[in-house]
Amino acid sequence: MAKKAINTELNGNYMISNILGNDVSSFNLEINFNSEEHKINGFTGCNHFFGNYKFTKDSLQFGSIGSTKMSCDDEKNDVEMTLFETLSQVNGLSYINDQSINLISNETTVLTLQKKPQVDKIILEYSALSRGLYKNIIIDKNNMSVMNDRNSKPFIKPSAEKQWKLLLEMVEKIDLETISNIEAPSAKRLYDGAAIGNLTITFNGKRYKSSSFDHGNPPDEIAEIVKEILSISENIE
């Protein structure tokens, strides 16, 4: 694979989604590049690591890497060991697009990185509408807002950092590109047996809206985050 440079710097936070052709998304591996100091830090799924790197338009190399020494289970130990060994072999990179990068060893892709979402550009909105029910919940990094009546003012309070972090972890599990095609598990809303539920996630300026579903019975793919949003809304008033 030919090396292709479309940027003059390597900077920012990335999730490591693939190592040597194996999907490692479930381990939540991270690597953060600091272009000013040419330093990296990250997370292996168990330990935090740190080091430095050299980057030009034609090459990328990592220096020696240090890490914390927490005890992990065998699977995480194997992933961590493979990650460190693979980083030591990297000598180039190829940009897939603005959000994804392949790291290369001797023209073979060994790591794939996905740009980590910017938390200040994510907005979560849940609505439930029927003849007798109105609920609109909006949550972002800074604030959460709840309206339980079309004519009332929203209840607003600052977002809790712990809750926001949990919601972001849930967002990462959702395939936003297919959210509009998720099939609802029930259809009571079609004959006024349930309010119409919708989840909308705004990510970097683009809105991803789910197909409608029965309030109280969301599809499995988004059930976790819908439940958490509703739980947060119950404690805001």
The 10s digit of each residue's pLDDT in 42-59 is 999 889 999 999 998 778
Tens of pLDDT along 118-145? 666 799 999 999 988 999 999 998 899 9
- Give the residue extent of every domain in the chain: 12-115, 119-234
- Specify the CATH number for 119-234; select among 3.30.1560.10, 3.40.50.720, 3.90.550.10, 3.90.45.10: 3.30.1560.10
- What is the average pLDDT score of the chain? 89
pLDDT on residue 119: 64
Chain centroid to CA 81: how far? Answer: 24
Q: Does the pLDDT of residue 204 top 80, yes or no?
A: no
DSSP the chain: ---B---S---EEEEEEEETTEE-GGGTEEEEEETTTTEEEEE-SS-EEEEEEEE-SS-EEE---EE------HHHHHHHHHHHHHHHH--EEEE-SSSEEEEEETTEEEEEEEEPP-GGGEEEEEEEE-SS-EEEEEE-SSEEEEESSTTSPPEEEEPPHHHHHHHHHHHHTS-GGGGGGPPPS--GGGGTSSPEEEEEEEETTEEEEPPPEETT---HHHHHHHHHHHHHHHTT-
pLDDT digits over 142-186, tens only? 899 999 888 878 888 899 989 999 999 899 889 888 999 999 999
pTM above 0.85, yes or no: no
| Predicted local distance difference test score (pLDDT) of residue 236 | 62
**Pick among 3.50.50.60, 3.90.1200.10, 2.40.128.270, 2.60.120.10: CATH of 12-115:** 2.40.128.270
